[in-house]
Amino acid sequence: MIDFSEIIWRLKFISVVFSMFFGFIFIYSMVRFRQLVSLKIQMNKIINPPEAAHGGALQSKWEEIMRHMDSVREAEWKFAIVEADKLVDDILKSSGYLGDTMGERLMNIEKGQLLSLDGLWEAHKIRNKLVHDTNYFLRYAEARRAVMLYEAALKELNALG
C-alpha cells in the first residue's frame, strides 16, 4: 500500500527547500539591483554634473528665487518655494535619480546617497501643503527654512557653488 503521508511530507520538504533557494536568489538579486542603480547614479553624476548640464542658467534661476524671498508678500515666498522645488527636481532627474515624481525620486534615494535627504523631504512637504491647500498660511521663517533646505541640497548635488 502507498503511504501518502510520507509522499506529502517529502513534497513539503522539497517545496520548502525550493522556496528558500528562490527566496535567497530573489533577495540577492534585489540587493545587486540596488547596488547597480546606485552605481549608475554615481557614474551619471561624474559624467554629467548638474552645473555642466545647465550652465549659468541654474545660478540665475536660484538668484531669481532668492529675489522672491526678499519680498514682503507671502505669495512671492510661495512662488519661491515652488520654483526651488522644481529646480531641485530637475537636478535630481538630470543626475539620474529614478521616479516619475519628486516624491518617488526622494523615496528611491538611500540615506547615505544624499545627506540633505531629510531636509529635502521637509521642504518638499511644505511645498505640497502650499500647492494642495490654497488657504495655507506660510510664515516667513518657514519659507526661509524651506528655501535654505533646497539650497543645501543643491550645493550637495554640486548644482550651486
- Contact between 66 and 77 (Cβ < 8 Å): no
Q: Using CA atoms in the order 127, 103, 49, 149, what is the torsion angle rounded to 10 degrees?
A: 40
Give the mean model confidence (pLDDT) for residues 113-126.
Answer: 92
pTM for this model (two decimals): 0.69
Map residue 144 onto helix, strand or coil. helix
Domain spans of the chain? 50-156
Give the mean model confidence (pLDDT) for residues 60-88.
Answer: 94
Q: What is the DSSP string of 139-150?
A: PHHHHHHHHHHH
State CA 144 to chain mean position distance: 21
pLDDT at 160: 82
69: pLDDT strictly greater than 70: yes
Cell matching residue 117: 535627504
pLDDT at 98: 85
Average pLDDT, the chain: 88
Cell matching residue 136: 495655507
